[in-house]
Amino acid sequence: MNKQAVFAEGFWHNNTIFVQLLGMCPLLGVTTSAENGFWMGAATLLVLLSSNLVVSMVRGVIPKNVRIPAYITIIAALVTVVGMAMNAWVHSMYLILGLFIPLIVVNCSILGRAEAFASKNSIVDSLVDALAVGLGFTLALLLLGGVREMLGQGKLFGFPVFGTSYPDVLMFVLPPGAFIALGFILAGINLINRQMAARTAAAKKAQVMRAEAGSVGTASVGVEAG
């Protein structure tokens, strides 16, 4: 499979958050700051990579009828491992994200990738897919966390960006702010996608017209010759 196409699909065209609107729970819950968003994204990415790797390794071995319980067992074990590792080595982040880490298990995008991709594709392709989807998810969390932190507290990664006189807009720290910010981000992304689509369509149209003009030219030449 074309690695670049797999990556583009997972990272952008089929982005878990921006396009599929899956995994909203961690998205809205932890994105009160860019840093929280980043670490939640990193944890999810790690789980995705390992779950896609394992599922792709055991594809064909696991009987079809029990694949979902098997995948969920694998994912739950991996999430627990990531949670323990964070507790041990990034303890301060674990204290903030603690509640949300177990919820990675039920992030449907992870079981979704295992079922829809890793169980049918090679190990390398599955890793590329996991990387793309995980990075896309991290990008979304980072973006939303950054926007909320900036608008809500006037800071980015804990550093003031709007000066000290910035009045904190509490709404963006609270859950409604997450929905509102996400809505604007989605609108922006749709705008970008539409413009990109329009540009490719225009390019294609121009090409077709050129081709048509060419063929008309030859046809008329043919008529003349006839």
Partner 1 sequence: MVMIAEWMMMFDREQLRMVLALFVVAVIAAVLLGLTNMATRKPIAMAQKQTLQRALQQVLPEHNNDPQAQVIDVDGFAIYPAREHGVLAGLAWQVIAPDGYSGAIRILVGVHPDGRILAIRVIYNKETPGLGDGIVHNKAWVNSFRGRGLEGVRWKVKKDGGDFDQFTGATISPRAVVKAVKGALIFYRDKRAVIMRRLSGKLSRKVKAPPPRNQSVM
Residues near partner 1 (CB under 8 A): 32, 58, 61-63, 65-66, 69-70, 73-74, 76-77, 80-81, 84-85, 87-89, 91-92, 95, 152-153, 168, 170, 173-174
The alpha carbon dihedral of 32, 33, 35, 38 has a sign of positive
Nearer to partner 1, 69 or 217 (CB): 69
Helix (H, G, I), strand (E, B) or coil at 198: helix
Q: How far is the CB of 200 from partner 1 (least distance, A)?
A: 42
Rg of the chain (C-alpha set): 23
Which residue lies nearer to partner 1 by CB, 73 or 122? 73
Q: Residue 89 CB, nearest distance to partner 1 (Å)?
A: 6
Residue 117: other Cβ atoms inside 10 A: 22
Let me know if 197 is exposed, middle or buried by CB neighbors in 10 A (0-12, 13-18, 19+). Answer: exposed
* DSSP label at residue 104: G
CB 180 within 8 A of CB 186: no
How near is the Cβ of 184 to partner 1 at its closest, in Å? Answer: 20
Which residue, 96 or 186, has its beta carbon nearer to partner 1? 96
| Nearest CB to partner 1, comparing residues 170 and 196 | 170
Distance, C-alpha 217 to centroid of its chain: 48
Q: Cβ of residue 104: shortest distance to partner 1, in angstroms?
A: 15
- For residues 42 and 55, give the distance between their C-alpha atoms in angstroms, rounded to a whole number: 20
Of residues 58 and 103, the one with the C-beta less far from partner 1:
58
For residue 169, the SS3 value is: coil
Rounded least distance, CB 90 to partner 1, Å: 9
| Shortest Cβ 87–partner 1 spacing (Å) | 5
Q: Which of 63, 68, 23, 18 is nearest to 41 (CA)?
A: 23
Instruction: Find where tokens 């081709």 sit.
Output: 211
* Residue 30 vs 140, nearer CB to partner 1: 30
Q: Which is nearer to partner 1, 56 or 153 (CB)?
A: 153
Rounded to 5°, the CA angle 34-36-42 comes to: 100
CB of 142 to partner 1, least distance (A): 18
